């Protein structure tokens, strides 16, 4: 059955024809191309690389960027694409987010013309895959402590250090790596195959199984000065990329929440217990559905308002923190409630709910944990930073 959408409060009436068209295109792709593959991909811990050219043709990579073949979608259109992709799986949405918001966006914002010409058309068309290396084994929430170093040596830089939990790492053609130099934190484009650069994939994940996650290692890895992003200086450069990606997550998780809600709603009407009555006839069940649809509606309105502000260039990182934190939290709670309402069936992969639940545990952690975003909001409203 194609997905019909979840719209309790006529939120659809707030979208333009063009926005609805973009959503419909992404929805059809998600239903027809990702959905039939995803259960086996998750079981087999396989990222479906075969979907990359089709996602590229639909303009998913760097969708809200302009130039170099990018689709120049509005931020609301881009958000709706993220929502539809993540309605099927957070791992596939992660691929799209990393490629666009964490690799193409920084090259466009901080790169040289030569870097833009070399990488952006290739990344947009899916001919090249990128990854974003910020997290290290000992520095996740606090990237300011990073130990990876970049030492200038004539016309080149020598990179040393470890990055871990890097989405797309093992399948990337280029890694955007952040390292500490005398000048502060700098960003480098490191091509796969560069001597001294190796990757190893992380196995045993119960979450994001349809996404590749890797560690990156740099041992006297030499790159040219022309591979350094010339306009990226200091930690605010990678943090600005994270803000782009978090915005997409704020929309994406609504998709996962919608799928969990709709699965539970449909199941509760069909599943009968006690006197042959559907479980939907019980108040305790209805209360859970009512909670889910209310929170999804609030999340939809928050994302839409964030998108409109972003299109007006009025969205700031503290807004994005609230969007990412709230929408991820309610999506995870929807997944947990939905799993509960499906009873034993809820733990199998015949239904998408447990997969969403496992994936959303990662989404709660990456791109700034729930705690860290609470501290960003707390700092905004009190003026007091409480990270340390
Ligand atoms: C599947 C997956 C994909 C990822 N992809 C990428 C990627 O592509 N690129 C990349 O660079 N990184 C990536 N990450 C890493 C991710 O961004 C980090 O895991 C995240 O920043 C949290 O860091 P950590 O895991 O080291 O947890 P920690 O920072 O050790 O945090 C552990 C716990 O302590 C809490 N905590 C820490 N500091 C504070 C504080 N001051 N106040 C209150 N609580 C605090 C946290 O909220 C959390 O609950 C990925 C992670 C996963 C799981």
The maximal CA–CA distance of the chain, rounded, in angstroms, is 81
Question: Whole-angstrom Cα distance, residue 166 to residue 215?
Answer: 6
Nearest CA to ligand 1 atom 26: 140
Nearest CA to ligand 1 atom 43: 371
CB 325 within 8 A of CB 254: no
Residue-wise burial string across 8-34, b where 16 or more C-beta atoms lie within 10 A, e elsewhere: eeebeeebeeebeebbebbbebbbebb
* Secondary element (H or E) of residue 149: strand 149-153
pLDDT by residue for the chain (388 residues), tens only, comes to 789 999 999 999 999 999 999 999 999 999 999 999 999 999 999 999 999 999 999 999 999 999 999 999 999 999 999 999 999 999 999 999 999 999 999 999 999 999 999 999 999 999 999 999 999 999 999 999 999 999 999 999 999 999 999 999 999 999 999 999 999 999 999 999 999 999 999 999 999 999 999 999 999 999 999 999 999 999 999 999 999 999 999 999 999 999 999 999 999 999 999 999 999 999 999 999 999 999 999 999 999 999 999 999 999 999 999 999 999 999 999 999 999 999 999 999 999 999 999 999 999 999 999 999 999 999 999 999 999 9
Tell which atom from ligand 1 comes closest to the C-alpha of 143: 21
Task: State the distance from the centre of ligand 1 to the C-alpha of 228, rounded, in angstroms.
Answer: 26
Task: State the distance from the centre of ligand 1 to the C-alpha of 142, rounded, in angstroms.
Answer: 8
User: DSSP secondary-structure letter at 99?
Assistant: I
Task: State the distance from the centre of ligand 1 to the C-alpha of 369, rounded, in angstroms.
Answer: 6
Residue-wise burial string across 51-78, b where 16 or more C-beta atoms lie within 10 A, e elsewhere: bbeebbebbbbbbbbeebbbbebbbbbb
Best substitution site from 176, 243, 366, 379 to test ligand 1's pocket, by max atoms within 8 Å of Cβ? 366
CB 31 within 8 A of CB 2: yes
CB 143 within 8 A of CB 238: yes
Tell which atom from ligand 1 comes closest to the C-alpha of 371: 47
Contacts of 85 (CB under 8 A, 6+ apart): 26, 30, 34, 60, 92, 93, 96, 252, 255
**Ligand 1 binding residues, C-beta < 6 A:** 98, 132-135, 140-141, 165-167, 208, 213, 362, 365-367, 369, 371-372, 387
Nearest CA to ligand 1 atom 35: 371
SS3 call for 24:
helix
Question: Whole-angstrom Cα distance, residue 235 to residue 68?
Answer: 26
Best substitution site from 369, 370, 375, 379 to test ligand 1's pocket, by max atoms within 8 Å of Cβ? 369
CB 214 within 8 A of CB 129: no
Q: 136 pairs with which residues across the strands? A: 139
> Distance of CA 183 to CAs 154, 162, 179, 227, 368, Å?
15, 20, 10, 16, 25
Active site members: 367
Question: Whole-angstrom Cα distance, residue 342 to residue 324?
Answer: 27
Per-residue model confidence (pLDDT) at position 240: 95
Closest CA relative to residue 265, chosen from 284, 299, 293: 293
CB atoms within 10 A of CB 124: 24
Nearest CA to ligand 1 atom 41: 387
Task: State the distance from the centre of ligand 1 to the C-alpha of 144, rounded, in angstroms.
Answer: 13
SS3 call for 139:
strand
Question: Whole-angstrom Cα distance, residue 98 to residue 9?
Answer: 32
Tell which atom from ligand 1 comes closest to the C-alpha of 169: 8
Tell which atom from ligand 1 comes closest to the C-alpha of 362: 53
Tell which atom from ligand 1 comes closest to the C-alpha of 163: 11
**pTM of model > 0.95:** yes
Nearest CA to ligand 1 atom 17: 366
* Secondary element (H or E) of residue 153: strand 149-153
Q: Tell me: the pLDDT tens digits for 8-35?
A: 999 999 999 999 999 999 999 999 999 9
Nearest CA to ligand 1 atom 30: 140
Question: Whole-angstrom Cα distance, residue 206 to residue 209?
Answer: 7
């Amino acid at each position: 059955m194609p997905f019909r959408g979840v719209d309790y409060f006529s939120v659809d009436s707030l979208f333009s024809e063009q926005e609805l068209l973009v959503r419909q295109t992404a929805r059809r792709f998600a239903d027809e191309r990702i959905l039939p593959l995803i259960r086996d991909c998750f079981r087999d811990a396989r990222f479906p690389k075969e979907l990359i050219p089709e996602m590229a043709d639909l303009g998913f990579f760097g969708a809200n960027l302009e130039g170099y073949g990018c689709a120049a979608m509005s931020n609301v259109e881009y958000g709706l694409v993220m929502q539809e992709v993540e309605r099927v799986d957070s791992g596939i949405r992660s691929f799209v987010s990393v490629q666009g918001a964490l690799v193409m966006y920084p090259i466009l914002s901080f790169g040289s013309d030569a870097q833009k010409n070399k990488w952006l058309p290739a990344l947009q068309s899916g001919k090249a895959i990128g990854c974003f290396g910020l997290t290290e084994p000992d520095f996740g929430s606090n990237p300011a402590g990073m130990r990876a170093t970049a030492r200038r040596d004539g016309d080149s830089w020598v990179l040393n250090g470890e990055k871990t939990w890097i989405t797309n790492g093992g399948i990337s053609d280029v890694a955007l790596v952040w390292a500490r130099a005398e000048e502060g934190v700098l960003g480098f484009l490191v091509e796969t195959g560069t001597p001294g650069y190796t990757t190893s994939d992380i196995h045993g994940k119960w979450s994001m199984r349809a996404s590749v996650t890797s560690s990156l290692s740099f041992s006297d890895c030499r790159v040219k000065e022309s591979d350094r992003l010339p306009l990226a200086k200091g930690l605010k450069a990678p943090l600005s990329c994270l803000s782009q990606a978090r915005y997409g997550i704020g929309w994406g998780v609504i998709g996962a929440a919608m799928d969990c809600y709709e699965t539970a709603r449909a199941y509760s009407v069909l599943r009968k217990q006690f006197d042959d009555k559907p479980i939907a006839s019980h108040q305790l069940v209805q209360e859970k559905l009512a909670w889910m649809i209310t929170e999804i509606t609030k999340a939809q309105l928050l994302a839409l308002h964030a998108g409109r502000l972003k299109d007006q260039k009025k969205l700031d990182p503290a807004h994005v923190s609230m969007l990412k934190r709230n929408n991820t939290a309610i999506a995870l709670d929807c997944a947990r409630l939905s799993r509960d309402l499906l009873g034993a069936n809820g733990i199998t992969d015949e239904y998408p709910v447990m997969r969403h639940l496992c994936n959303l545990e990662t989404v709660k952690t990456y791109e700034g944990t729930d705690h860290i975003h609470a501290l960003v909001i707390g700092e905004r409203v009190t003026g007091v930073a409480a990270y340390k």
